[in-house]
Chains A and B, each alone.
Chain A
Amino acid sequence: MPEQKVVEPEELLLKAPREKKFITGSQAFAEAVKRANVDIAIAYPITPQSETMHLVGDLYAQGYVKDYYRAEEEYGTMSAIAGAVRGGARAFSATSGPGLLRGLEAIVSWPGHRIPVVLGVMTRVVNAPLSIQPDNVEIAYLLHSGLVVLHAENQQDVFDFTLAGFPISEKVDVYLPVVVATEGFFVTHAKGYVELPPEDMKLPPRDPYKAPVPPTDCEIPPARIQRDAPVQKSNFMSYLIHAVWQQEVWSANRRAMKWIYHYLGGPIEVVNPDAEVFIVASGCAAAQGREAQRYAELEGLPVGLIKVKALRPFPEKEIREALKNAKAVIVPEHNIVGWLAKEVKAAIPNGGIVVDGPRVYGGMTLPVELIMDEVYKALGIKKEKTLA
């Protein structure tokens, strides 16, 4: 392991020279952890996530991570993460589908406990019949729990979102967990080009005292932390405290937006802003949307793409602005419920122009043809089902 010098996140993420490598999504997660000055990583295997945490284990063996263990199961993993982060450590874990659901009670309590941590979610089918293939229905509940949720399209995003996730989660005005979701296999087990900053640089260590909720480490007053713990006193007070606290969690979530601009150039990417028809997509669906947009351009059709990088905070304002002249909006997704289509519909005044789909699930790939069919329909073009 090379000697690593501590540099500011701006240096590491935005200024440092980058070198192009051809790596898998799992490797991209590990490359980010390598430069993130992580104190502890806690792992529990589940396909297609395991490989990432194997690689992080190797980083521990090499000295990049200070502590690492294979926990008993996901509930134990996510609870232990809560303990480690409350003790002031910087932590990382990752999971997939059923593992995410098993750890869910612990995970969704992180925002309320103000746990700054980065969790990789490599999406996988959760409902029966069994499949280990990608399907991102699991993201739906995460959107309602106060976490910052970033959805990576490819290996480069995985690296950038994960590394940026640490400073974003630890900003005193945010102080929330950051989920970096991506499609299992399609991204984790496939190689792509990733521009990487040097490996002899790392983020500054976490400073747990820069916190709205101090760490529980017996290093700071007051002694009687919860002397009149109102939550324990009466149901009325407990409702009130919960309500106020949840509002603060969601305000903090919105405050993450400026840091998403700062480190990741904003929550959305717009291709062909003057188009009439837009494909709005996140994660792998955005990659297919990108292809569809390129085909449309070859055919001279007025089609644009909005890639949604941040699902929470949701870029409502940005999407509304980008779609203000749109005639139709196509939302391709890798799940049966269409959570993104619902969000987009709710974000714009004329939600009726949103096309719910196309959708694939259970691990199927999303053919560009399916998106093109919707494009032709939206533009009133009658076409053969095959591409020219």
Chain B
Amino acid sequence: MGLEYVKISPGFEKYMPRDYVDLVQFGQFGKQIDVMQMGQFKELVEEHPMCAGCYMAYFIRVFYAALPNPEDTIVLGTAGCARLALSQAAVPFIYGNYGDTNAVASGLKRALSIRFPDKVKDVVVMAGDGGLMDIGFGMTMHSWFRREKFTTIMVDNEVYGNTGGQESGMSPKGIQLKMAPTGKKFDKINAVELAQVAGCVYVAKISPTNPKRIAKTIKRAILAAREFGPTFIHAYTSCNIEYSIPTREVLADARNREKQDFKFYEWMTDEVKEYLEEIERKEKEKAKEEVGQ
């Protein structure tokens, strides 16, 4: 929104919806929030119709809390479960056709760069494994080849959640799912390696067990995309419905996968590394100063 657009004109507070006033007063616009304080501030996404206990929904909540610049961020989604929560957040959301996210984001980011050359506008794609690695594969890859400056986050539940449990290119080999009645025939696509080869400047693979780490990864990906080029996060976000993971065990499942094939992995180019370290060093110094005061 740009901070000045978020602000309520003096005298109008009592006429504005309470929800909006709370967002402006107790939300994260214009502030840097510590994700560990989730539940203690007015969050950008609150209601959503995703399944109770869905781990993807949890990840999305942390994602919004981690945005470095929520008032100037646009999120793009596609058909799939994630869009159910993304469309309810207090951040502009674009929903196109299934799989088109990275093409739409390319046009959007370029338009914003033409119109606002001196402003920071972050564009973030958040889409499922089916949306990014199956139907939208070509558009995902080509946005990376073209070095488009936005972040792509794949919420990988290893299945088509929204259409009721079909296999995806990211489902593990051998697993029996709808439309794979005798088990999936090929391995999980190596999205992280593809991203690296295709030109992403920052790539991470994560099982979202640690909110601080999720937040740091998201922030890094967005900051790097602003300056250098495409960035990619591959996040394991289990589907407790299709994989029959009891709600109370979703975190344990994520921890388990972290030990197996979703060990935290982060890669970036040297210039991105230098850039991020500089920003993080300054942030630390500032925090120290504030503590000292």
Binding site for B on A (CB under 8 A): 39-40, 42, 66-67, 69, 71-73, 75-77, 79-89, 91, 105-106, 109, 216-229, 231-233
Binding site for A on B (CB under 8 A): 1-2, 5-6, 19-20, 23-24, 29, 49, 71-74, 76, 84, 87-94, 96-97, 100, 103-112, 114-116, 121, 138-139, 141-142, 146
The smallest C-beta distance from B52 to any residue of chain A, in angstroms, reads 16
Known contacts A84-B110, A233-B49; can you find 17 more A-B pairs with CB under 8 A?
A39-B114, A42-B107, A72-B142, A73-B138, A80-B104, A82-B107, A83-B108, A89-B110, A218-B74, A218-B121, A221-B1, A223-B1, A224-B19, A224-B89, A225-B91, A227-B88, A232-B84
Contact in complex: B103, A83 (CB < 8 Å): yes
Central interface residue in B1, B20, B103, B112, by most chain A CB within 10 Å: B103
Cβ-Cβ contact count across A and B, 8 Å cutoff: 153
CB neighbours of A81 from chain B (8 A): 107
CB neighbours of B110 from chain A (8 A): 40, 67, 84, 87, 89
Using A106-B100, A219-B5, A220-B1 as known contacts, say yes or no to A80 and B88 having CB atoms under 8 A apart: no
Smallest Cβ-Cβ distance to B122: which chain A residue = A218
Smallest Cβ-Cβ distance to B48: which chain A residue = A232
CB neighbours of A80 from chain B (8 A): 103-104, 106-107
Contact in complex: A71, B108 (CB < 8 Å): no
Contact in complex: A71, B142 (CB < 8 Å): yes
The smallest C-beta distance from A41 to any residue of chain B, in angstroms, reads 11
The smallest C-beta distance from A146 to any residue of chain B, in angstroms, reads 15
Q: In the complex, A223→B46 CA distance in Å?
A: 14
Q: In the complex, A97→B130 CA distance in Å?
A: 28
Contact in complex: B121, A217 (CB < 8 Å): yes
Contact in complex: A223, B20 (CB < 8 Å): yes
A–B Cβ pairs within 8 angstroms, 17 of them: A71-B106, A71-B142, A79-B100, A83-B106, A86-B104, A87-B108, A88-B112, A89-B115, A106-B97, A106-B100, A216-B92, A221-B6, A222-B20, A223-B23, A223-B29, A225-B90, A229-B87
CB neighbours of B114 from chain A (8 A): 39-40, 66-67, 89
The smallest C-beta distance from A25 to any residue of chain B, in angstroms, reads 26
Smallest Cβ-Cβ distance to A83: which chain B residue = B107
Chain B at the A interface: mostly helix, strand, loop or mixed?
helix
Instruction: List the 10 closest pairs (A to B, CB-CB), nearest first.
Output: A83-B107, A87-B111, A84-B107, A80-B107, A89-B111, A83-B104, A79-B103, A83-B108, A72-B142, A79-B100
CB neighbours of B24 from chain A (8 A): 223
When the two chains form the complex, which single residue of B49, B87, B90 contacts A223, counting CB atoms closer than 8 Å?
Answer: B90
Smallest Cβ-Cβ distance to B139: which chain A residue = A76
Q: In the complex, A54→B119 CA distance in Å?
A: 32
Q: In the complex, A223→B91 CA distance in Å?
A: 6
Contact in complex: A87, B6 (CB < 8 Å): no
Contact in complex: A84, B1 (CB < 8 Å): no
CB neighbours of A220 from chain B (8 A): 1, 5
The smallest C-beta distance from A211 to any residue of chain B, in angstroms, reads 14
CB neighbours of B146 from chain A (8 A): 69
Central interface residue in A72, A83, A86, A216, by most chain B CB within 10 Å: A83
Contact in complex: A85, B111 (CB < 8 Å): yes
CB neighbours of A232 from chain B (8 A): 49, 84, 87-88
The smallest C-beta distance from B5 to any residue of chain A, in angstroms, reads 5
Central interface residue in A105, A218, A226, A228, by most chain B CB within 10 Å: A218
Q: In the complex, A86→B29 CA distance in Å?
A: 23
Smallest Cβ-Cβ distance to B98: which chain A residue = A105
Using A83-B104, A227-B88 as known contacts, say yes or no to A216 and B115 having CB atoms under 8 A apart: no
Contact in complex: A217, B115 (CB < 8 Å): yes
Smallest Cβ-Cβ distance to A113: which chain B residue = B96
Contact in complex: A221, B5 (CB < 8 Å): yes
The smallest C-beta distance from B36 to any residue of chain A, in angstroms, reads 24
Q: In the complex, A85→B71 CA distance in Å?
A: 21
CB neighbours of B97 from chain A (8 A): 79, 105-106, 109
Q: In the complex, A87→B121 CA distance in Å?
A: 11
Using A67-B114, A83-B107, A216-B74 as known contacts, say yes or no to A224 and B20 having CB atoms under 8 A apart: yes
CB neighbours of A67 from chain B (8 A): 110, 114
Q: In the complex, A173→B86 CA distance in Å?
A: 30
Smallest Cβ-Cβ distance to B6: which chain A residue = A223
Q: In the complex, A173→B279 CA distance in Å?
A: 47
CB neighbours of A219 from chain B (8 A): 1-2, 5
The smallest C-beta distance from B240 to any residue of chain A, in angstroms, reads 20
Q: In the complex, A84→B111 CA distance in Å?
A: 5
Smallest Cβ-Cβ distance to A229: which chain B residue = B87
The smallest C-beta distance from A38 to any residue of chain B, in angstroms, reads 11
Q: In the complex, A229→B87 CA distance in Å?
A: 7
Contact in complex: B107, A87 (CB < 8 Å): yes
Q: In the complex, A82→B146 CA distance in Å?
A: 18
The smallest C-beta distance from B124 to any residue of chain A, in angstroms, reads 12
Using A89-B114, A219-B2 as known contacts, say yes or no to A109 and B49 having CB atoms under 8 A apart: no
The smallest C-beta distance from A221 to any residue of chain B, in angstroms, reads 5
Q: In the complex, A216→B112 CA distance in Å?
A: 9
Using A72-B139, A75-B100, A79-B103 as known contacts, say yes or no to A225 and B5 having CB atoms under 8 A apart: no
